[in-house]
Structure 1
């Protein structure tokens, strides 16, 4: 069963389509154009590839072979809708109409790369960046059409054509309806929403939103949502169109929402959520128009652009610790030098060898202490806690603003769950140091962490009782300190 299957025709329609499908042995004569070959045919007629004899430009000509009143009305409606969208960048353009010809026809742009369905038949693994681009281009085309008061009502890969650069262009508005039109319009199985499959329903923009989500799902997964051998067989078993539509609605409303797109490599949570919301069985839970889909895509792009900034935010505290280590190293060298000089002087007065031993012992203790600082600054768990604190502070606090009560913001920071988790982590680390670091542990009396701008986020003592009596530096800015 082709994934682009439309709903079954009744016997009369089938006989009519069969007659139209009989092969044509001769190219038609169309004034001003030279037909080259048949591109396709359907219920209304045939589409030919032709050349404009004046410009030598390749064009597509849709020729209506049965000029009865119903077909002519359908032709007229489709041409009028396409004419209203003549300025749409993502919509196939009508170039000429031959009303007075027999049979009547209209000329439109020729899309040399065929349809999106053709591409999917050739390549099931379209890159994610191309999927997002195509979904955006289709949404922009729908947005333009909706702005003109036109609902497509039959969006599917076969009705999305690709120009020379493979940009999406909407085509085939044969099932389209004007906004406010009360006449129902059936789309294609597995692409139309369950509410569109109700013959009593009124056309709505959310129909096209659902179909857009179904096309996006097909691009990501390779098959439309809800399609399986079992579901296809259930629909095929229906004896009448109303029975089939009822089965289709029930299938979508009662079956678990499709999740295969979440498993596609490279699909981020925001993109998966956009597809999920488009495919909501309840129309009220979908995006209410395609403009909202475009806004969601823009928001996703902005989030991906900001992602490197988060990495910079992660590097900030690490760089701070490295700077502190560098300045502390310089202080250590000075301290060691001064200690050695002092010891040497005393050794000259008493015992030179004892003084040298004391100096080496002090140096070893300082080296051990700074090794502790360096090791702690490189722990991944510390970085993770710093990232969580930064995100929570950005979301819930305004410490950098001059328009807020700073004391109140500091109190909120002290109660922030992510910051408390950071302090609990620091307390665990200082306890571990007391057990594992040997002689250097006695020198580690406290641990504190400042974020990139100098604001203190955590402060703990080796002795918890000492911490209770000390004034908390949390929320204070220490950027003025020389070590910072």
Structure 2
């Protein structure tokens, strides 16, 4: 066995022979090394390098005890047995240290008997998680008490770690394992456990010092709070494992501690205040002179922290009591008035929002009817048997051939077009005639895309789009967004149900446009194409103008707009009284129309209110007591009239992702009641303030006198 220094109290390091003995001891199973008169062995509690610990029952009293055997195998080091017994005997009177009960010096093998502590080691307890701050402080205080008792008997522990702290039935800490302990007058080294050992202790020539235990208390405290001892990481473990000799490993350990500085993870633990963190930092200081002198210093610091904490409620009372008193007085004087005023405000707000909601429902229903008519017209066209069969046959052909036919019959000299082209042109002509008969503006375009997204027919004819692929458009796939041309999903497919797409900038006209599209299916119900009609937003506004700007019957000045719900988090204005045809066309001509519409998103607070109202039903109405009009954020002078707060009601337009907003000035609706409320509140505050000042002076005088006595 290797020795670090010479003398009668050498610190011994486990070598290969020792480890072999430990292995054989662990294989002894449930057979105790010997029977002890007066005790009945129950079971093995643990096995170490130099002995085994067994649970036993004292025959006369039935008390459970722990027996540590030192087998005579491969040269028992009697100095270790005598050293541990010596230290346990010295601290026998301490209630915070496991007590020595009996010693069998002449037994074969020798043993000593000590108290059995029911809940095992703190190390085992920590494998189930770290402790709360209050529990950690309590256990550290008890450990300090144990160390103070040991110091009183002239004993330094020198190997404090979670495994050497036992927890009794009441979960109180009891210090144990004094195998590395030293008397205060001894001058032989004692190596502790890595990550709990003070850096200066990791020296084969070091002399025992109470500040070693101070560092270990800090490391254990840190472990209790964070779940791991300070400085332990995969990197430091690798550094230590790479050391070939004990001396090299100790030097690596010292370098890790000195170069890493005091760790900070404990400061991030909830409930760890600055004073407690400072105590741990001082314990873990790499410079011994900067630490507490001993465990008594740690306990004194914890006691000071407790006293300061106990005085904190008094200080808080001095600050909060006047505030709470004043807060309690205000409701006493104002509750009745506020209840009445709030009731009046709520009634006016509810009546205004009810009227706005009715208008929003009517406008949404009218707009939904208009859009549904357009979609149903497309669906009705596709119910024509001849057209359906002709399109099914045509769409089985190569798209280039179909495009060529459209181009051929769009320019003179013109021959008789194929039947599929005749039928589509006839349907488009009938729709134009119907629009004219009802005084509605014509659609911007009609077009047909094959199942791959290629446009194979368009009216009016345009070579800018014919033959081009538009599979990235929402009107083709119906997924609620337009993709980038170079980032089209691989699984893109034509839509399988009618759809009102997101607004987009037309390739042909360069204007903001909305398309209504329906799937074209073959006789087996498989989608083989998409038929759509488009309309400029400006034209939609004009077509809806009669609905949007018609005066209300109650003569309330209202603003009615249309918003597009791109998804559940982004809502963009599509139509608004500010967005007149002149404004939109002016933006289009300067190529700023896309940028204009991209800025008209409803703010996040309104979006959250919409989400809350529609959490169970996306088709539910939304009523907002405070609404901010996106138009009011524009820098244009004409948009200033839409700034400020509004009352607003929103009604969904069926399931197409649009909502109609009806809004009115909040101030105009509530100003009569708010004027009365303002006058009443001024009078109330004057009376409350006068009374509060007098009472606050009385409270502060009592608090100051009580705090002064506590100091």
User: TM-score by structure 2 length?
Assistant: 0.45
Residues 220-259 of structure 1 deviation map (CA, whole Å, 9 limit, x = unaligned): 1111110001111110110000000000000000013211
**How many residue pairs were aligned?**
344
Secondary structure of 2:200's aligned partner: coil
Alpha-carbon offset, residue 366 of structure 1: 11
Q: Residue 46 in 1 paired to residue 46 in 2?
A: no
Q: Residue 301 in 1 paired to residue 306 in 2?
A: yes
**CA distance 1:190–1:8, change in 2 (3 Å):** farther
The 8 Å contact of residues 58 and 65 in structure 2, kept in 1 or not, is answered as yes
Alpha-carbon offset, residue 169 of structure 1: 0.5
The 8 Å contact of residues 67 and 103 in structure 1, kept in 2 or not, is answered as no
- Give the Cα separation in 2 of the matches to 1:323 and 1:47: 65
Alpha-carbon offset, residue 194 of structure 1: 0.3
Residues 441-465 of structure 1 deviation map (CA, whole Å, 9 limit, x = unaligned): xxxxxxxx9695579xxxxxxxxxx
Q: Tell me what 1:351 maps to.
A: none
Q: Residue 35 in 1 paired to residue 41 in 2?
A: yes
Secondary structure of 1:195's aligned partner: helix
Alpha-carbon offset, residue 68 of structure 1: 7.4
Alpha-carbon offset, residue 175 of structure 1: 0.2
Q: Tell me what 1:86 maps to.
A: 92
- Give the Cα separation in 2 of the matches to 1:313 and 1:293: 31
Alpha-carbon offset, residue 148 of structure 1: 0.9
Q: Residue 183 in 1 paired to residue 188 in 2?
A: yes
Residues 348-397 of structure 1 deviation map (CA, whole Å, 9 limit, x = unaligned): xxxxxxxxxxxxxxxx999737626857999xxx9xxxxxxxxxxxxxxx
Among 210, 222, 225, the alignment partner of 2:227 is: 222
Q: Tell me what 1:371 maps to.
A: 685
**CA distance 1:55–1:283, change in 2 (3 Å):** same
Alpha-carbon offset, residue 14 of structure 1: 2.9
- Give the Cα separation in 1 of the matches to 2:36 and 2:90: 25
Q: Residue 135 in 1 paired to residue 140 in 2?
A: yes
**CA distance 1:323–1:243, change in 2 (3 Å):** closer
Q: Tell me what 1:446 maps to.
A: none
**CA distance 1:26–1:16, change in 2 (3 Å):** closer
The 8 Å contact of residues 318 and 700 in structure 2, kept in 1 or not, is answered as no
- Give the Cα separation in 2 of the matches to 1:79 and 1:141: 17
The 8 Å contact of residues 14 and 49 in structure 2, kept in 1 or not, is answered as no
Among 124, 133, 153, the alignment partner of 1:148 is: 153
Residues 44-91 of structure 1 deviation map (CA, whole Å, 9 limit, x = unaligned): 111001111111111100000027776212111211111111110110
Q: Tell me what 1:174 maps to.
A: 179
Q: Tell me what 1:258 maps to.
A: 263
- Give the Cα separation in 1 of the matches to 2:166 and 2:324: 52
- Give the Cα separation in 1 of the matches to 2:330 and 2:166: 61
Q: Residue 267 in 1 paired to residue 272 in 2?
A: yes
Greater Cα offset, 191-200 or 20-29: 20-29
The 8 Å contact of residues 119 and 167 in structure 2, kept in 1 or not, is answered as yes
- Give the Cα separation in 2 of the matches to 1:120 and 1:304: 27
- Give the Cα separation in 2 of the matches to 1:244 and 1:373: 76
- Give the Cα separation in 2 of the matches to 1:324 and 1:111: 57
Q: Residue 56 in 1 paired to residue 62 in 2?
A: yes
The 8 Å contact of residues 123 and 163 in structure 2, kept in 1 or not, is answered as yes
- Give the Cα separation in 1 of the matches to 2:116 and 2:71: 20
**CA distance 1:81–1:69, change in 2 (3 Å):** farther
**CA distance 1:310–1:47, change in 2 (3 Å):** same
Q: Residue 66 in 1 paired to residue 380 in 2?
A: no
Q: Tell me what 1:421 maps to.
A: none
Matches within 5 A, 1:24-423: 24=29, 26-27=31-32, 28-66=34-72, 71-121=77-127, 123-315=128-320, 317-318=322-323, 368=682, 371=685
Greater Cα offset, 168-177 or 298-307: 298-307
Q: Tell me what 1:425 maps to.
A: none
Residues 262-321 of structure 1 deviation map (CA, whole Å, 9 limit, x = unaligned): 111121222211111111111111111110111111111112211210122114554797
- Give the Cα separation in 2 of the matches to 1:24 and 1:74: 24
- Give the Cα separation in 1 of the matches to 2:30 and 2:310: 56
- Give the Cα separation in 2 of the matches to 1:51 and 1:111: 13
User: TM-score by structure 1 length?
Assistant: 0.65
Gaps of 5+ in 1: 1-6, 330-363, 383-448, 456-484
- Give the Cα separation in 1 of the matches to 2:289 and 2:72: 41
**CA distance 1:369–1:454, change in 2 (3 Å):** farther
Gaps of 5+ in 2: 1-11, 335-677, 703-711
Alpha-carbon offset, residue 146 of structure 1: 0.8
The 8 Å contact of residues 44 and 66 in structure 1, kept in 2 or not, is answered as no
**CA distance 1:107–1:314, change in 2 (3 Å):** same
- Give the Cα separation in 2 of the matches to 1:105 and 1:308: 54
**CA distance 1:322–1:118, change in 2 (3 Å):** closer
- The structure in which a higher percent of residues are strand is 2
**CA distance 1:207–1:376, change in 2 (3 Å):** farther
- The structure in which a higher percent of residues are helix is 1
Greater Cα offset, 300-309 or 314-323: 314-323
The 8 Å contact of residues 101 and 115 in structure 2, kept in 1 or not, is answered as yes
